[in-house]
Amino acid sequence: MAEFQSKIKTIEWIDTYSRMVDQTKFPYAFEYVEITNGQDMFNAIKTMIVRGAPAIGIAGAHGVVLYAQEGAKTISDKAEFISWLLKKADYMASARPTAVNLMWAVEKQKEIIKNSTSDIVGIIEELKINGKKLELEDIEINKKIGDYGAEVVPKGATILTHCNAGALATVGYGTALGVVRSAFANDPTVQVFADETRPRQQGARITTLELTMDGIPVTLITDGMCSYFMKKGMIDMVCVGADRIAANGDAANKIGTYTVAIAAKYHNIPFYVAAPLSTIDTSIKSGDEIVIEERSHDEVTHINGKSICADGVKVINPGFDVTPHELIAGIITEKGILRPDYTKSIAEAFKM
Ligand code: MRU
């Protein structure tokens, strides 16, 4: 399978700090920001300087290292250090509620903290090594997802995607856009239709930017246009990412994804979810148990700082919705493409 390397490294641990692309600046600037303490990392996740489920997982893992470095400056007793750091880790995991990758990666760091037999300096070193390992594994996992996914992309396909599940939502290759990258490497006639993705416009601001940077053809459409193009026969498949997938295959992703899935079903277009196993939360039976982040009303009432509606209008702004498993043709993971019955195929994937 040919490989198409993304030029982007979204988040990276460097010696004593975390360096990430500042995604709040898109599309006007492509800038890196250095995060040097735990509270700044919490804020970076919350304010979406870093965003996308796998990327915020890695950010959370880096955040625990940053807190460990800070704690070591004032705490010398190991037991006290561990108890303080575990509380900070839980705080880090609470920065955003829906993407389970954040809790998953922080939990991986907590296991190191709880099980280490080293002194404080040694624990920090182990946390750094583990953070780096998770970072590098993320790219490898995404490439596997990409290669499995490419097998179901028809020749010359137009793939519709929603939000950004690309290099900029991960460490550097992408899940849904990883599938696009792997497919494009073998078939340069593949192209993408990107939903704008209101309210924060990750499709317009981020997906079009990263695909353009990598020379992959992309057409921007607004969210309401997807069924129009499906009816015209211009969409061959849908591929999106996920923030949390329940044990039965119900998948939470950016608000609006559910609408796309319903439209795809109606038009007989396969709807795929691409996600690593770390996005699957087997502790919950169905999507009903997924906590949906409620975000600032300004995201709906304003565009680029300017109001687009009547002053004081009532607003609701859930950040995610849940696509029921029966609308999903397959879940593309690093262990292969999982098919219905998802309760069975997901359980089996975790045993592999
Ligand atoms: O609010 P965001 O931008 O963090 O939401 C991102 C998404 O919904 C992505 O599709 C999802 O995290 C998958 S990223 C590989």
Residue 24: pLDDT band (50, 70, 90) is very high
- Return the ligand 1 atom nearest residue 101 CA: 12
Among 180, 205, 243, 255, residue to substitute to test ligand 1 (most atoms within 8 Å of Cβ): 243
Centre of ligand 1 to C-alpha 117, Å, is 36
Question: For residue 66, what pLDDT is reported?
Answer: 98
The whole-angstrom separation of Cα 76 and Cα 23 is 37
The whole-angstrom separation of Cα 190 and Cα 154 is 8
SS3 label, residue 261 = helix
Mean pLDDT computed over every residue of the chain? 96
pLDDT in tens, 185-199: 999 999 999 999 999
Among 20, 22, 51, residue to substitute to test ligand 1 (most atoms within 8 Å of Cβ): 51
The token pair at 14 is: 């460097």
Q: Kindly tell me if the per-residue pLDDT of 90 is higher than 60.
A: yes
- Asked about 321 being catalytic, the answer comes back as no
Residue 5: pLDDT band (50, 70, 90) is low
pLDDT in tens, 206-245: 999 999 999 999 999 999 999 999 999 999 999 999 999 9
Question: For residue 1, what pLDDT is reported?
Answer: 42
- Using an 8 Å Cβ cutoff, are 192 and 221 in contact? no
Specify the pTM: 0.95
pLDDT in tens, 275-321: 999 999 999 999 999 999 999 999 999 998 999 999 999 999 999 99
- Give the number of other CB atoms < 10 A from CB of residue 170: 31
Centre of ligand 1 to C-alpha 163, Å, is 7
The token pair at 332 is: 């593309």
Q: Kindly tell me if the per-residue pLDDT of 3 is higher than 80.
A: no
Helix pair 100-115, 120-150: axis angle to 10 deg? 140
The whole-angstrom separation of Cα 65 and Cα 135 is 13
Closest CA to 217 of 197, 189, 178: 189
Q: Kindly tell me if the per-residue pLDDT of 4 is higher than 60.
A: no
The whole-angstrom separation of Cα 205 and Cα 223 is 14
Lowest-confidence pick of 3-17, 20-34, 110-124, 229-243: 3-17
Of these residues, 147, 236, 243, 321, which one is catalytic? 243
SS3 label, residue 142 = helix
Range 316-344 average pLDDT = 98
Lowest-confidence pick of 7-16, 29-38, 178-187: 7-16
pLDDT in tens, 95-146: 999 999 999 999 999 999 999 999 999 999 999 999 999 999 999 999 999 9
- Return the ligand 1 atom nearest residue 254 CA: 8
Centre of ligand 1 to C-alpha 254, Å, is 6
The protein residue whose alpha carbon is closest to atom 15 in ligand 1 is 165
**Ligand 1 cavity residues, CB under 6 Å:** 51-54, 99, 163, 165, 169-170, 175, 202, 241-243, 253-254, 319
Question: For residue 8, what pLDDT is reported?
Answer: 77
Question: For residue 6, what pLDDT is reported?
Answer: 63
Centre of ligand 1 to C-alpha 54, Å, is 8
The residue with greater pLDDT, 5 or 32, is: 32
Question: For residue 54, what pLDDT is reported?
Answer: 98
Centre of ligand 1 to C-alpha 52, Å, is 4
- Using an 8 Å Cβ cutoff, are 177 and 93 in contact? no
Question: For residue 303, what pLDDT is reported?
Answer: 93
Range 35-57 average pLDDT = 98
Give Cβ neighbours of residue 204 (< 8 Å, ≥ 6 apart). 27, 194, 196, 197, 220
Range 19-43 average pLDDT = 96
